[in-house]
Structure 1
Amino acid sequence: MIQTLAGRAFITAIIVVGAWLLPGPVAHAQRLVSIEGAEVNMRSGPGTGHEVLWVLNKGYPLKVLRRQGRWLEVQDFENDKGWVARALTGRTPHHVVKSRIVNIRKGPGTGHPIIGQAEYGEVLRTRSKRRDWVQVERAEGQPGWVSRRLLWGW
């Protein structure tokens, strides 16, 4: 069965209990890509003949595990693995919200006023970083700052 990212995030939000734990240190830098198309299929293997596992929306960040021809084996913020066509990915930095709800602030710090909120699984365009904060922009164009520990991506 094919699920959209929105349905997947809702189901996962119900299941997830506690904070997201990042893996330990790695020996080399991780290469990240983001989805360039409006909707891209993540498949069980490298090729269109393989089963569609998920449908990923524009900007969705993924960690590249390996490359095979024109395909990338990738992993998302929930550690799900699959394959996407390399031509449908890019290097535009994005983050995905890994906490149930995060505050979007006017500036980089808890002393700045809250100007909005984002929910688990929401993809945010990365604009800049400052220490432990990331300046993001929502799909509808609202800019703001979110604590880096609440996000996964660039």
Structure 2
Amino acid sequence: MNSLRILLAVAAAAIAAPVAAQEVSVPYWASIRAGEVNMRAGPGEDYRIDWVYRRPQLPVKVVRLLDGWRLVEEPDGTRGWMLARFLTRQRSAFVKGQGLTDMREMGAANARLLWRVEPGVVVLLDDCDKGWCGVRIGERAGYIRQDRLWGAGEP
């Protein structure tokens, strides 16, 4: 009898896992996992390719889920569909705005300046607090003002 209960519990868990994976609330931030990803006009491989992305870790906003596809949005509002397997929930952002932005040793305007970062540079995100986000660019780590990052904060 215990074996039957265990078998039923395992079977129920196996069925529930894929359903739970689909129950993610949107919108949410994601980043591109692969070295080449197609953005399509619709959720299927028969739809035309609108863009080809060749920049791993580039952040995108996921705004809709459909059968293994994700409708993603770029900062300019452009939307298209990507296969979910080419996206990751690893948080990243890119520097936005005009001119260089400061990467500081701590999350404060008067903290020691470490580097100056150009717009368009992709960073891996750590926690954000009081308007500053911990970021990593390769082996370098520091803090950048949250208002200079697309992909930080609420999607």
Structure 2: runs of 5 or more not aligned = 1-24
Q: SS where residue 135 of structure 2 aligns?
A: strand
Q: 2:146 aligns to what?
A: 148
Which structure has the highest helix share of the two? Answer: 2
- 1:5-154 matches, within 5 Å, as 30-49=27-46, 50-100=48-98, 101-138=100-137, 140-154=138-152
Q: CA RMSD in A?
A: 1.8
| One-letter identity of the residue aligned with 1:43 | R
1:35–1:56 CA contact under 8 A, matched in 2: no
Which segments of structure 1 move beyond 3 Å, counting only runs of 4 or more?
Answer: none
Report how many residues are paired. Answer: 126
Q: Deviations over 1:113-135 (max 9, x none)?
A: 22112222221000222211001
Asked whether the 8 Å contact 1:42–1:56 carries over to 2, the reply is no
TM-score between both structures, scaled by the size of structure 1: 0.73
Take 1:33 and 1:56, find their aligned partners in 2: how far apart are those partners?
A: 16
* Per-residue CA distance 1:61-82 (angstroms, 9 max, x = gap): 1111212212111101222211
C-alpha change, 1:136 and 1:109, in structure 2 (3 Å) is same
**Structure 2: how far apart are the matches of 1:34 and 1:102?**
22
Q: TM-score normalised to the size of structure 2?
A: 0.73
Q: Say whether the 8 Å CA contact 2:36–2:52 is kept in structure 1.
A: no
